[in-house]
Structures are given as C-alpha cells and as structure tokens.
A and B are shown apart, each in its own frame.
Chain A
C-alpha cells in the first residue's frame, strides 16, 4: 500500500524493517529527520535496538565500528562535514571488513558553509572501500538500504555501504512510497551472520598492523571484494525485484537510450529532471537518452560500456568538482575510462553545486554542448567570475 511520507522518514522505516541491533548517529542537516525519527522508533519500542547517543560523528561511526565487530547489524547516517569528521573511521571500517550501512544525505562541503545539496561529500571518500549506491527518489532510497545490507553482509563481500540520497531534494520532500511488510523483509534479509566477531571467551583483534611485507595484500583483498560486490549487488537487486516487484538487478538504468545519439550520465535525484528533459527533447525529434548510475562503487564499467556502445556523445552531469583535474568531474573520469576503447567523446559538465537548482533547460543546454564538442566546463556560472 502506498503511503505519502517524507523521504527521511521513508529511510527511517527502511532502517526499522532491516532490524539493526545498534544505531549510532549525530544529527546534522539535512540528515536530521532520519535519526530523529529512528530515535522515536526505538524509544517507542518499535525497534529493539541500542540507540547510542554520542557527542560527534567521529564517535558515532567509532561506536558503530565496535558494535559491528561485536557481531551486530549496525546503522548510521550523516552528511557533509559530519562525514568529513568521520573520515578516519570510514577507512578503518572498510579495512576491518565490517558491513555497516550508512545513509548519506548528500550535501556540499565547506568552506563556504552550505547546508544544501551536491554529491561532493560521498564522492570524496571514493577510495575508502565503502560501496556507494545513489537513489533517484524516496522509494529507491528505501529499497537500496535492504539491498545494501544484503550485499554488504555477504561473506563474498564484507564491505560497508553508503546509501546516498540528495539532501533536501529527497530528504525533505514528500512522496508516495510502498513500505514492505516486516515478514517480507525478514524473508529477504535474514539475521546478520558475522564472518568473525569480538568475543571475550575467544579473543580476536580487528585491523591489526601490517608491515610493508603485508599491507599491500590487504588493500588488494579489499579491491577484490569490491569487484565481487558487482555480482552480489546485481543478485541482491534481482532477488528484491522478484519478491517486491521493483527490479534493481542493474547497477545502471537506461532511459530511452536504445537509439540515442547523445547520452546524459548522472546519479541521484537529478535523473528525474533529466528524464523529463529527455522526453521533451525526444518530442522535438532529438535522439537523447539517460544512463543513470545506481552504483558508483563498485563502478559498473562493463554495464556503462555496453549501455553507451551506440552513442556518439556523452555528457556527464556532475554534482561534484574534481579540483585540479582537467576533466573537472569525478564521475566523468570513470565513464571516459569505461568507453575509452569505443573512442566516444565524454564531457564533464559541473553544476548544481551547493544546492543550485538544475533545470530542464540546463539539461538541454549541456546536451547541445556535448553534441557540439564543447569541452569540460561548469554550467550556470554567474557572469561576474567569467
């Protein structure tokens, strides 16, 4: 049954249904409504979890790390400066192979101070060893939490996961969502079966030091697990589709791409705007389509290469800036690598930073830019900086 609900509350419902045993988070805009609602859910006895109140994001993820190592299913949520503050622990969680799921309510990073949306925060932890999934709407944000837990806890993977959804655009807006029943989620996502755990009767330490003779092998193993995660995520998404009717077997999603000359590549809520712009351009006779990336880590380069095999130009809409790189956007670099052998031109167009609206006419503009071979650049800049 569909219910109209704020995006943050939909995510809180998904977390409740996933039955984490420990929740620890520190409130920060625009993530606050998720953890406020979860605090209520725990206080009301609807979820049997320890809700650990802490004084900072660093402590939030640190307590999650310990709880996960002790064998609990664990949840946290943060954004922007909070995620930056967690960064040391973020790398340690992945290195200790602890399958924590954390929601990122995507927000820009300071300075200048901005509470509004872009995707710089999660992307700056690209190399941390966490999976990164991006949701287009509240329903997808909900569903990706179940899939993230299932893939992260798979013993072939054992890596933590970010479920990213755009701050304000998705966290603070109301949408109809289909909330699964508890028994259905219990069937899809059984209790956490830890690979190894802290136990005073059988002591073990996590994340010991590795000498130069061994460190490199541990990084190799994390990368190998991330590579295996592609198959595991696809299978978890397919199984979800069979049980709930919403198929997530693809790490990418194509929209009107079959006969397209120009493809737009993007992640997150802006894909909704792009779909509308694509429809309007198609009505005008333009052969344009969208390739939506659902997973950025692992990066599904085979799927991207296959999906873009027939197009002549690729415009990557970047809600991040890869400062100092010629290509300007972190996503475009990956897409360009994926299609390199095809020789297809790929351009990064940076915009929507710090919460600036991306409109259908912006999408049409960058489509034209890609068609005319305009180089990687910002769009929508104020004239006074030019």
Chain B
C-alpha cells in the first residue's frame, strides 16, 4: 500500500492491500489426505487458494486472513488451522 496524500488510490488497489497480517491461524494442507476436490478453492472468500502443478491447493498467505472456512468445509479433514507465531 502506498502512503499517498489523503489516502488516495488508483482503481484495482485491493491487490496492494495485503490482508495476510490479519491472520491468527494459518491453514496448513496435508496432501496425503487431499483428494483434489477443489472445495477449499471454491469456498475461500478471499479467492487466495489456487491449484499447484499437481492439482493440490496452494495458498497465497499474503492475502489469507485465516478465516478457517476451508478447514471447516474440507470433506477429507486435510486442512489444519495452526496458530501463527508473531
């Protein structure tokens, strides 16, 4: 985020406002349990979960707020919320 006078901003600045610092718990994915169903990617309100090359979920932690919805909805219990250490 730029420190512009009057906190002014150009369009599309949501990408500049990184929300990862809001997170208290971090979702950690267990690819052994994951069946690549994609539920976590669809449910993520921040749209910060994408597929890696093998089709497993990968999280952009610069934007993940740690809301835990992916963990709650995962049918394989493959996601664990671990407390962030700051």
Q: Which residues in A have some Cβ–Cβ distance to B below 8 Å?
A: 95-98, 158, 195-196, 203-214, 217-218, 221
Contacts and interface: CB of A to CB of B under 8 A. Distances in A.
26 contacts: A95-B6, A95-B7, A96-B6, A96-B7, A97-B5, A158-B6, A195-B5, A196-B4, A196-B6, A196-B8, A203-B11, A204-B9, A204-B10, A205-B13, A206-B6, A206-B7, A206-B8, A208-B8, A208-B13, A211-B17, A211-B18, A211-B22, A213-B1, A217-B3, A221-B3, A221-B5
B6 A214 contact: no
Contacts of B50: none
Contacts, number: 55
A227 to B, nearest CB: 16
If over half of B's interface residues share one DSSP class (helix, strand or loop), that class is named, otherwise mixed; here it is loop
A213 B21 CA distance: 8
Given A211-B19, A212-B21, A218 B7 contact: yes
A221 B4 CA distance: 10
Interface of B: 1, 3-11, 13, 17-19, 21-22
Contacts of A95: 6-7
A65 to B, nearest CB: 11
Contacts of B1: 210-211, 213-214
Nearest to B21: A213
Given A203-B11, A214-B1, A97 B6 contact: yes
Given A203-B11, A204-B10, A209 B5 contact: no
Nearest to A155: B5
Contacts of A96: 6-8
Contacts of A158: 5-6
Nearest to A214: B1
A196 B2 CA distance: 15
A98 B22 CA distance: 30
A207 B11 contact: no
Nearest to A96: B6
A95 B4 CA distance: 11
Contacts of B5: 97, 158, 195-196, 221
Contacts of A207: 6-8
Contact of A208 (B7, B18, B21, B22): B7
Contacts of A209: 7, 17
Contacts of A204: 8-10
Contacts of B13: 205, 208
A207 B9 CA distance: 8
Contact of B7 (A195, A203, A210, A213): A210
A210 B22 CA distance: 13
Contacts of B4: 196
Contacts of B21: 211-213
Top 7 A-B residue pairs of the complex, sorted by shortest distance between their CB atoms: A97-B6, A96-B6, A208-B9, A208-B7, A97-B5, A205-B9, A206-B8
Nearest to A69: B6
Nearest to B1: A214
Contacts of A195: 5
A195 B5 CA distance: 9
